[in-house]
């Protein structure tokens, strides 16, 4: 078999581990040939590809990023036509199909999130044999229990919280830490529990600023003159959507960084008069050497994808259903998001140990 592989969308620890596992399984187990496609679907549109043998896939297990490059603006169904000055979007999916065949590919392995897998599914409908591998550090993709990169991101946030805890305690401060999670609060919830946060704000649970202030007071009364708050970037105050959205957007015009974390910090300082600082962790959450958990999961995904390809299970993606990796239809992953269950084990554990989610 001759297979192509590409990585799409934002950065995520474990991409190289997947690529390595695909190549190793293809070569060692099936004597396949693998070619690497540059910069997501762009590489298939512009036919930028290269051989990907054991040597090139060697020594990359522990490295962040992707040796293939990625792209965020590579949708072949709405491709930005750079030849004309104007920003026009044209459908170049036929070129993708053409280049797939021109490179004598029997199968395409597509590593990406919601958007990338949606494109993959539409290419399947045009006759491209492909297998998907789900990717998101936010862990909000449906039909797999967990995605690689998430554990590493949670670890990165936890390390930051460990550092911030001692400063908060020594200097009697409220520290707000804004983390990734536009639509789902997985990173905030997990890292908040792991990092000893006292308050966790997530998109799934609208919060009252007054509830936060009360929690800070309660701690003060018990002699705890500091509080650590983890805020997912998609968290919103109850009923206050409009207000906060406006404030944040206005801020964003001048300074892109201003977000919900800063808004919460301002509210808290106003309500409690306690010195409050905000840190926005930003892009460090997407990078770095993957954790053991993520390297193993990524390796299992990569190896399983090649097996699926040989079984002819196209238009499917690999999916973790403990303890196995199984095949799930690509359509299952799309248009439905896995959000934090507000009555599930993580939130209940958090509430049991006294963490406030800002709801009451």
Strand (E) or helix (H) holding 279: strand 276-280
Q: Which of 114, 118, 140, 151 binds a copy of itself (CB under 8 A)?
A: 151
**How far is it, in rounded angstroms, from Cα 161 to Cα 277?**
13
By CB under 8 A, the residues from 32 to 51 that bind a copy of itself are 39
- 204 binds a copy of itself, rule: CB under 8 A: no
Find out whether 255 and 247 touch, Cβ atoms under 8 Å: no
- 347 binds a copy of itself, rule: CB under 8 A: no
**How far is it, in rounded angstroms, from Cα 42 to Cα 52?**
17
Q: Which of 102, 283, 311, 337 binds a copy of itself (CB under 8 A)?
A: 283
Six token digits for residue 60: 């990359």
Nearer of residues 70 and 93 to a copy of itself, judged by Cβ:
70
Six token digits for residue 189: 């919830």
Nearer of residues 115 and 287 to a copy of itself, judged by Cβ:
287
Q: Which of 5, 34, 43, 71 binds a copy of itself (CB under 8 A)?
A: 71
Residue of 114, 138, 140, 315 with catalytic role: 138
Helices (H), 172-273: 186-194, 209-221, 241-254, 260-272
Nearer of residues 339 and 351 to a copy of itself, judged by Cβ:
351
| Least CB distance to a copy of itself at residue 125 (A) | 28
Find out whether 314 and 325 touch, Cβ atoms under 8 Å: no
- 295 binds a copy of itself, rule: CB under 8 A: yes
Residues 6+ apart with CB under 8 A from 110: 5, 6, 8, 116, 117, 119, 120, 130, 131, 132, 133
Phi first, then psi: give them for residue 284, nearest 5 degrees.
Answer: -65, -20
Q: What is the DSSP string of 260-276?
A: HHHHHHHHHHHHH---E
| Least CB distance to a copy of itself at residue 116 (A) | 14
- 188 binds a copy of itself, rule: CB under 8 A: no
- 5 binds a copy of itself, rule: CB under 8 A: no
Residues 6+ apart with CB under 8 A from 17: 60, 61, 148, 290, 294, 295, 298, 299, 302
Number of shown-chain residues binding a copy of itself (CB under 8 A): 101
- 15 binds a copy of itself, rule: CB under 8 A: yes
> Which residue stretch of 77-85, 234-242, 243-251, 328-336 sits at the interface with a copy of itself (rule: CB under 8 A)?
243-251
By CB under 8 A, the residues from 250 to 269 that bind a copy of itself are 250-251, 254-258, 262, 265
By CB under 8 A, the residues from 130 to 149 that bind a copy of itself are 145
Nearer of residues 125 and 324 to a copy of itself, judged by Cβ:
324
- 215 binds a copy of itself, rule: CB under 8 A: no
HEC string for 83-149: CCCCCCEECCHHHHHHHHHHCCCCEEEEEECHHHHHHHHHHHHCCCCEEEEECCCCCCECCCCCCCC
Quick note: the x/- pattern for a copy of itself over 320-339, rule CB under 8 A, is --xxxx--------------
By CB under 8 A, the residues from 299 to 318 that bind a copy of itself are 299-300, 302-304, 306-307
Q: Which of 2, 50, 51, 72 binds a copy of itself (CB under 8 A)?
A: 72
Phi first, then psi: give them for residue 318, nearest 5 degrees.
Answer: -75, 150
Q: Which residues of 74-113 are buried (b: 16+ CB within 10 A; e: fewer)?
A: bbbeebeeeeeeeeeeeebbebbbebbeeeebebbbbbbb
Residues 6+ apart with CB under 8 A from 215: 198, 199, 227, 356
Nearer of residues 238 and 251 to a copy of itself, judged by Cβ:
251
Nearer of residues 210 and 250 to a copy of itself, judged by Cβ:
250
| Least CB distance to a copy of itself at residue 104 (A) | 24
| Least CB distance to a copy of itself at residue 101 (A) | 27
- 288 binds a copy of itself, rule: CB under 8 A: yes
The answer to whether 138 is a known catalytic residue is: yes
| Least CB distance to a copy of itself at residue 138 (A) | 15
Catalytic residues: 138
């Amino acid at each position: 078999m001759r297979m192509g592989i590409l990585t799409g969308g934002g950065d995520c620890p474990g991409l190289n581990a997947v690529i390595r596992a695909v190549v190793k399984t293809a070569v060692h187990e099936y004597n396949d040939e693998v070619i690497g496609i540059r910069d997501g679907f762009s590489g298939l549109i512009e036919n930028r590809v290269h051989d990907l043998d054991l040597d090139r896939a060697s020594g990359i297990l522990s490295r962040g990023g992707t040796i293939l490059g990625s792209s965020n603006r590579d949708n072949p169904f709405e491709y930005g036509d750079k030849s004309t000055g104007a920003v026009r979007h044209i459908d170049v999916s036929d070129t993708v199909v053409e280049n797939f065949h021109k490179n004598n590919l029997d199968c395409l392995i597509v590593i990406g999130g919601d958007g990338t897998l949606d494109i993959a599914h539409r290419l399947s409908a045009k006759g491209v044999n492909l297998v998907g591998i789900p990717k998101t550090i936010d862990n909000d993709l449906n039909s797999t229990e967990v995605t690689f990169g998430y554990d590493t991101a949670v670890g990165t946030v936890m390390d930051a919280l460990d550092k911030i805890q001692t400063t908060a305690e020594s200097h009697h401060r409220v520290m707000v830490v804004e983390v990734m999670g536009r639509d789902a609060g997985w990173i905030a919830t997990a890292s908040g529990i792991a990092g000893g946060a006292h308050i966790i704000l997530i998109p799934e649970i609208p919060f009252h600023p007054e509830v936060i202030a009360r929690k800070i007071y309660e701690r003060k009364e018990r002699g705890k003159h500091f509080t650590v708050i983890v805020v997912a970037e998609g968290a919103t105050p109850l009923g206050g959507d409009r207000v906060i959205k406006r404030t944040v957007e206005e801020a964003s015009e001048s300074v892109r960084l201003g977000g919900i974390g800063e808004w919460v910090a301002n509210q808290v300082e106003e309500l409690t008069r306690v010195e409050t600082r905000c840190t926005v962790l930003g892009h460090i959450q997407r990078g770095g050497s993957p954790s053991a958990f993520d390297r193993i999961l990524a390796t299992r995904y990569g190896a399983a994808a090649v097996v699926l390809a040989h079984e002819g299970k196209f238009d499917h993606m690999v999916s973790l259903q403990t303890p196995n990796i199984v095949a799930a239809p690509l359509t299952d992953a799309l248009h439905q998001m896995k959000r934090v269950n507000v009555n599930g084990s993580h939130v209940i554990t958090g509430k049991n140990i006294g963490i406030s989610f800002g709801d009451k």
